[in-house]
Amino acid sequence: MDGAARSLAVSPISGALGAEVAGVDLAQIDDAAFAAIHDAYLAHQVLVFRDQDLSAESYAAFARRFGTPAEYPFANGLDGSPFITPLIKEAHQISNFGGMWHADTTYKPDPPKAAMLTAIETPPAGGDTVFACQYRAYETLSEGMKRVLAGLRGQSSSAKNASALRTAHLATGTMTAAERPPEVLTAAHPAVRRHPETGRFALYGNRSHTIRFEDMTEGESAGLLEFLFDHQVRPELTARVRWEPGTVVIWDNRCCQHCAINDYDGHRREMWRITLEGEIPEAA
Ligand code: SIN
């Protein structure tokens, strides 16, 4: 291990997932430091870096070390940096973006593997993001429930909560009123997915996008889905991130969910988001 990697300090932020990484300037990392960061990312699923001073270019360069930046469906990027989506809630606005538990865009056949946010402006209090570990969500199920889920695939639709999503996009400026209402995107994925890098099993489905199980009606699916949606975000499976300008967070969408807490009316919050292309989820 070289000097840069050796100076990294990784401190868990909850018993379930997430860690703060100190001793690194993300604008300057070398291959050895990145390898240590990547190991920590696979181990903790959510990494928090404080006091970073990243330009759009250095932020995109850091993201490219993890994968290929993707354009986010139904959202506009920064001028000149189309892969950076500004998520802005102005002081007078009510709706926020991502304010319901989800893994990103599971209505796509190849949902993003990861996403990152950089805090540009934060409210004096509130506006935290909460993450939930979907490895632990799976591991804490009974053996009987694991057997039930082994054969199931969840159908996601961008039409679920579409009006709330559109309101949030309009309110946060990630979509303008002149833009078409989004076409409906749908995709089915294993209810339990095998993480392609760690080999661990994670629950994969979420309250924002999953509407039913494949080959079942919404009515037949509803009871089990409701149980899972609640189970997936039990407090002991979560970690909460408090933002300050310069905080950068990356999370692994293949094994965690997130929810942006909308508790800061009257204050402005601006985050820059980068989404990284993913793969077709593999069944456990
Ligand atoms: C999101 O990407 O879902 C929003 C997260 C946040 O703004 O905290």
CATH number at residue 118: 3.60.130.10
Whether the CB-CB separation of 282 and 196 falls below 8 Å is answered with: yes
Q: How far apart are CA 199 and CA 48, in angstroms?
A: 23
Per-residue confidence (pLDDT) for residue 174, from 0 to 100: 62
Per-residue confidence (pLDDT) for residue 27, from 0 to 100: 96
| Position 48 in a domain | yes
Q: pLDDT truncated to tens, each residue of the chain (284 aa)? A: 555 556 799 999 999 999 999 999 999 999 999 999 999 999 999 999 999 999 999 999 999 999 999 877 667 788 888 899 999 999 999 999 999 999 999 999 999 999 999 999 999 999 999 999 999 999 999 999 999 999 999 999 999 977 566 566 666 666 555 555 568 899 999 999 999 999 999 999 999 999 999 999 999 999 999 999 999 999 999 999 999 999 999 999 999 999 999 999 999 999 999 999 999 999 99
| Position 194 in a domain | yes
| Position 222 in a domain | yes
- Residue among 233, 271, 272 to mutate when testing ligand 1 (max atoms within 8 A of CB): 271
| Position 193 in a domain | yes
Q: How far apart are CA 167 and CA 162, in angstroms?
A: 8
Which domain range does residue 33 map to? 3-279
> How many domains does the structure of the chain reveal?
1
* Residue nearest atom 7 in ligand 1 by C-alpha distance: 260
| Position 284 in a domain | no
Per-residue confidence (pLDDT) for residue 168, from 0 to 100: 62
| Position 91 in a domain | yes
| Position 47 in a domain | yes
Ligand 1 atom closest to the Cα of residue 269 is 7
Q: Which residues pair with 240 in a beta bridge?
A: 130
Cβ of 87 below 6 Å from ligand 1: yes
Torsion of CA 187, 188, 190, 196, to 10 degrees: -20
| Position 257 in a domain | yes
Cβ of 247 below 6 Å from ligand 1: no
